[in-house]
Amino acid sequence: MKLTTNWIVEGLIDFEYKKFMLLGYLKRVSQNFDEQKLYPFLADLIFHYQNLVTLKESKQATSDQFSQKIKKIDLDNFRIEYERVMNDDKYMEEVEHILNYAIPKIQQELSTGKEIYNSIEEKLAIFPVGIMPLHANMGYMLLKNGETSDTQVFDYTITIFANASEKYRAIKTRFVDSYIKQFTNTYEAIKLDLIKRNKNLPNPATFVVESPYRFPLNETFLPIAKRSLVRFITQHNGLA
């Protein structure tokens, strides 16, 4: 169960109905958090929280999302006039009621998700394999997920894009291979094997992200590892 982008103003505008929708959604979020599965729900919670706060801050923004119907077609001037399907104050009051209930509920679950995220991130160890190259915006990420018998290898590319106020960094990963734990499969040996397999990266930036505990890979460990690696490279090396 997921909430749509405009769930609060779609369909029936009724507090009890929207409350039922929200609590059903948050119950599933909580169940996933209990299993330490953070994504995609943590990102969804952030989106919905920011969206609802924006709606609450501007009644006009809320009103603009209501559907419209054609009121009059002026063929002489080629103009169509619209009117809002729901422009009564009682509907806006109902939306306010829903917002006032939903925002703290989502914020509470969001705080739980962030606490889990921070707790896991603090346990991660990140370090380069060999000499860290000057430009580390492309290379390999080696994941060791608790006491597992294998090392998951992903290639990564970090890109920078900007808007009017600030720059953003995004990381894209692709699974490469899995190396079973053996005496000969050290991190250095894995890097050498990757170099042999990909001649286009003769001296690739290679980083290990280790966790002392095993976490769900796709829902938790990989997303946190990716964000942590971007932060590590930015702090220690910078990005070209």
Question: Mind listing the pLDDT tens digit for each residue in 136-156?
Answer: 999 999 999 998 889 999 999
* Domain residue ranges in the chain: 7-121, 124-236
The residues, any chain, with a CB within 8 Å of residue 113's CB and separated by 6 or more, are 29, 33, 38, 41, 42, 45
Query: What confidence score (pLDDT) does residue 23 get?
Result: 96
Q: What is the pTM of this model?
A: 0.80
CA distance 97 to 94: 5
Do strands 68-74 and 79-84 pair parallel, antiparallel, or not at all (unpaired)? antiparallel
CA distance 194 to 189: 9
Question: Mind listing the pLDDT tens digit for each residue in 21-34?
Answer: 999 999 999 999 99
- Region of poorest pLDDT, from 50-64, 89-103, 143-157: 50-64
Query: What confidence score (pLDDT) does residue 76 get?
Result: 56
